[in-house]
Amino acid sequence: DQQVKQNSPSLSVQEGRISILNCDYTNSMFDYFLWYKKYPAEGPTFLISISSIKDKNEDGRFTVFLNKSAKHLSLHIVPSQPGDSAVYFCAAQDDKIIFGKGTRLHILP
């Protein structure tokens, strides 16, 4: 039973445009949400997070939006750059952190 779902296995976006990665969760007790980026053969790297008491958090080109009523969060990257090509994992925390299966983002030249 997946508590964190990323329904898009992959996404292709033109360089310079906005990338939007989506994530849904089922457990309303999650109080913290995170996004990680992963390159092949490396461990995941922390990108940005948001507390459940907020609906938006911004850090440079990255913004995370949280819609608690819909149990949905999204990561916006603008403008998208070639180095953003990677797998992005959505994660949610109660005691431990639970990850989605990831979305592979391809930034097209």
If one counts every other C-beta atom within 10 angstroms of the C-beta of residue 55, the result is 13
Q: How far is the CB of 5 from other proteins (least distance, A)?
A: 10
- Structure token digits, residue 87: 């797998």
How far, in Å, CA of 76 to CA of 42, rounded? 23
Q: How far is the CB of 87 from other proteins (least distance, A)?
A: 9
Q: Which stretch binds other proteins (CB under 8 A): 12-20, 60-68, 71-79, 97-105?
A: 97-105
CB-based contacts of 41, cutoff 8 Å, min separation 6 = none
**Binding interface with other proteins (CB under 8 A):** 4, 6, 32, 34, 36, 41-46, 49, 51, 89, 91, 93, 95-102
